[in-house]
Structure 1
Amino acid sequence: MSTAGPPPPVPIPGARLLFSLDPGVAHLNHGSYGAVPIGVQRAQQRLRDETEANPMRFFNRGLVDRITHARRHLARFLGADPDGTALIGNVTIGAAVVLQSVGLEPGDEVLCTDHGYGSFALSIDREARRTGAVRRTLTVPLTATDEEVVEIVRAGIRPGRTKLLVVDQLTSSTARLFPAAAIAAVARERDVPVLVDGAHAPGMLPVPVDSLGADFWIGNLHKWCFAPRGTAALVVAPRWRSRMEPLAVSWEEESGFPKRVEWQATLDYTPWLAAPVGVFTLRTLGLDRVRAHNAELAAYGQRVVGRALGIAPADLIEPGGPTVSMRLLPLPAGIGTTFPDAIALRQRIGDELGAEVAVNPWRERGWLRLSGQIYNRADEYDRLAERLPALLATLG
């Protein structure tokens, strides 16, 4: 099969052996749930064993300090202020914390874009029902330039009404890279706080969090940082830290942010304590090397699968640009245009083709999202390209 472009990157030797993934499946959707290296799994299991050997000792003798140490290590990796960073379970939890802390009132609006993650919209709507605020959504074309995106946001902000602006750093459904720093600067001019959803940023994007200038930033470390699932970070600008309210009150309530948000009694803290091992693994492999490999491999997958779907290389959409490890392909018209249909198609691809991918509906069209990670090989995308058209043909 002609790849209609440059070859995929040379595999990183031994990388696949670092994971316990089923070798009979092509795992082409790292972006959704990540994959935890075996060494990180073992580190977390040792912590679980420590917990169960003496729960009283584990929870009551130095655990808060151990969490603080892990947080400081992870915050430095993210380029964030450790004293303004709280470890949380995932970005959706972080969004809920921010939404209930900014003080929404009747008549206020939370402004977002139509590229935002679905659970964020649900979180905003729930808080809006509780407070009398509203959610307003800006339409941003998939192929808009950064300058056009900034102008859309600038025109959409309504001073005096817009209480919070929510913007993605890298979108989940459309793999679109947004000019988050420029958007945050526009919002600051109008004194509107900004929440940046950086779910896919840690480990993939070489952008220090503090350089974005956001009031709030949240990101998952279990996707591209090899941390155990249930590890994320909420970074808060100094002027907001005293106002951050946890979802549930704990014994660290009087300690202030970040401990009052982090400490949730008998939560399983082993993912956070093991997360630095994931960062160590990433750095040992070579951070720049991994990023370049993954982005090139995702681009290769987009080319070969796109060619199989009849999409010429010149027509491929790259909303994230060349440095992003996720790529997008439009599905034939009428396929995967609703969430139930997208889920059904994703499951059929997994069951019948032995490939795990992401399928999302967006603007009344179905989209296939492919990821690239160090455990992937070029032939996995080749096999998907060979077999996917026949499966799609059965859907009309």
Structure 2
Amino acid sequence: MTVPQPPEPIPGARLLFSLDPAVSHLNHGAFGAVPIAVQRAQQRLRDEMEANPLRFFTQGLVDRIAHTRRHLAAFLGADPDGTTLVGNVTAGAAVVLQSLALRPGDEIVTTDHGYGAVALSVARECARTGAVSRTLPVPLTATDEEVVEIVRDGLRPGRTKLLVIDQLTSPTARLFPAAALVAVAREQGVPVLVDAAHAPGMLPATVASAGADFWVGNLHKWAYAPRGTAVLVVAPQWRERIQPLVVSWEQDSGFPIRVEWQATLDYTGWLAAPVGLFTLRSLGVDRVRAHNAALAAYGQRVVGDALGVAPERLPEPGGPAVAMRLVPLPPGVASTLDAAREFRSRIADRLSAEVSIAGWNGRGYLRLCGQVYNTPDEYDRLAVRLPTLLAQG
């Protein structure tokens, strides 16, 4: 089988970012990259804030945040009245968890593809309330139908108070059948939190199509917003129960404002987020999605070939729009969290390439992303140099 051809670059896209050109930035899914136009928009807002802080915070800021929320909700296909801005997916998940009023004997069900910080948040809430968490193992090669059956069999109506699933998993770059999983949980009366950290900007599916009780996604990854910009979308029957992690002066205003307003936070990133969407739309949303997914697929094949991984052993992401791909590392390499961090640092220091390395279920994986600022030769260089680094031990 031949390596797929890389996509044609989007003219001028690379110049929209201020990334260090001496480094191959192949891990957009970690912290994203903020376009220069968005950086400048946020700086103008910061200048406005510092010119007169009292005016900035007390005259119309709540309305400006609400306007931004409506704009972002429209892009995501979400109900603006059920949408609230939060700092990131982990913060949004924590808001949901502490609003559930869990009791001893209640349980939260997750899968072993979940994001580590969300898992820690679940563990803390269980320790605080006496609830328990249960993790469902899902094989990396499981079909959508198999994933649905694993979850169906893993729920316990009456005891399971929340199912947490990922729309696109972080450690394994796997697209889960979110809508089907929500439907299965609803049949059993179990509410669902969808961790959609990587969905906004990458995946075409809308929030409404998932139908979840809670949906939380970052806009600072694939939607070009400043970091610290995410939305939590809550179904109508839950909105009055949602409480902020910290009470502030808008507490009596109800959801969603009481979650958003946290006094002297720097709100300029949220207010600049629509400029990120403007940048994405200017490039062409569908064009960017197709480019990024094709580039990630190219990178997976060339690096996989260099490591001697047969094409049929390269994990499939589960959908054509996924711009993150996995490459299995040799057995024994980066198989633990500490080893993965050390190996990622070695790649960054010696190969001038930023990638994601995850130790998942005793096996190390390299995760590659595709973004408009990447070029095929960056993956080619990694493919040439990575085997030598591995041989050095």
TM > 0.5 between the two?
Answer: yes
Quick check: 1:252 aligned with 2:250?
A: yes
Distance 1:137 1:311 in 2: 29
Question: Which position in structure 1 is the counterpart of 2:381?
Answer: 383
Contact 1:4 1:303 survives alignment (8 Å): no
User: Counterparts of 1:340-351 in structure 2 under 5 Å?
Assistant: 340-351=338-349
Q: Deviations along 1:150-201, whole A, 9 cap, x unmatched? A: 0100000001110000000000000010000000011111111000000000
One-letter amino acid matched to 1:175: A
SS of 1:319's equivalent? Answer: coil
Instruction: Indicate the residue corresponding to 2:116 in structure 1.
Output: 118
| Residues 297-327 of structure 1 deviation map (CA, whole Å, 9 limit, x = unaligned) | 0000000000000012232211333220000
Contact 2:4 2:301 in 1 (8 A): no
Aligned residue pair count = 393
Aligned residues: percent identity?
A: 74
Q: CA RMSD in A?
A: 0.8
TM-score (norm 1): 0.98
Match of 1:333 among 331, 334, 343: 331
Letter in 2 for 1:293: H
Aligned to 2:188: 190
The aligned residue for residue 358 of structure 1 is 356
Listed one character per residue, the Cα deviations across residues 306-364 of structure 1 (whole Å, up to 9, x for unaligned) are 00000122322113332200000110010101111101110110110010000000000
Distance 2:317 2:203 in 1: 14
Question: Within 1, Cα distance between the matches of 2:317 and 2:272?
Answer: 33
Query: What is the CA deviation profile of residues 219-242 of structure 1, one whole-angstrom value per residue up to 9, with x for unaligned ones?
Result: 000000000000000000000000
Partner of 1:32: 30
Q: State the SS of the aligned residue for 1:11.
A: coil
Aligned equivalent of 1:170: 168
**Which stretch of the first structure deviates more once superposed, 96-105 or 316-325?**
316-325
Distance 2:321 2:39 in 1: 28
- Asked if the contact 1:4–1:313 (Cα under 8 Å) also holds between the matched residues in 2, the reply is no
Aligned position for 1:211: 209
Which residue in 2 is equivalent to 1:318? 316
1:92 touches 1:119 (CA, 8 Å); kept in 2?
yes
Per the TM alignment, residue 7 of structure 1 is displaced from its structure 2 partner at its CA by 1.3
Tell me the equivalent position of 1:105: 103
Output one character per residue of 1:241-288: Cα deviation in whole Å (capped at 9) or x when no partner.
000010011111111000000000001100100000000100110000
In the alignment, the residues of structure 2 paired with residue 292 and residue 314 of structure 1 have an alpha-carbon distance, to the nearest angstrom, of 22
**2-side partners of 1:72 and 1:117: how far apart?**
28
Task: State the partner residue of 2:267.
Answer: 269
State the partner residue of 2:54: 56
Unaligned segments of structure 1, at least 5 residues:
none
Q: Is the 8 A contact 1:142 1:319 kept in 2?
A: no
In the TM superposition, residue 394 of structure 1 has moved relative to its aligned partner by: 1.4
Stretches (4+) displaced over 3 A: none
Q: Which residue of 1 aligns with 2:224?
A: 226
Report how far residue 103 of structure 1 moved. Answer: 1.3
For residue 230 of structure 1, what is the amino acid of its counterpart? G
Gaps of at least 5 residues in structure 2 are none
Separation in 1, partners of 2:223, 2:12 = 18
Aligned to 2:4: 6
**Separation in 2, partners of 1:180, 1:101:** 22
CA contact (8 A) 2:38 2:225 kept: yes
Distance 2:315 2:261 in 1: 43
Mapped to 1, the partners of 2:51 and 2:294 lie a distance apart of 45
Residue aligning to 2:197: 199
**What is the distance in 1 between the residues matched to 2:365 and 2:318?**
15
Q: Please tell me the residue identity of whatever aligns with 1:238.
A: P
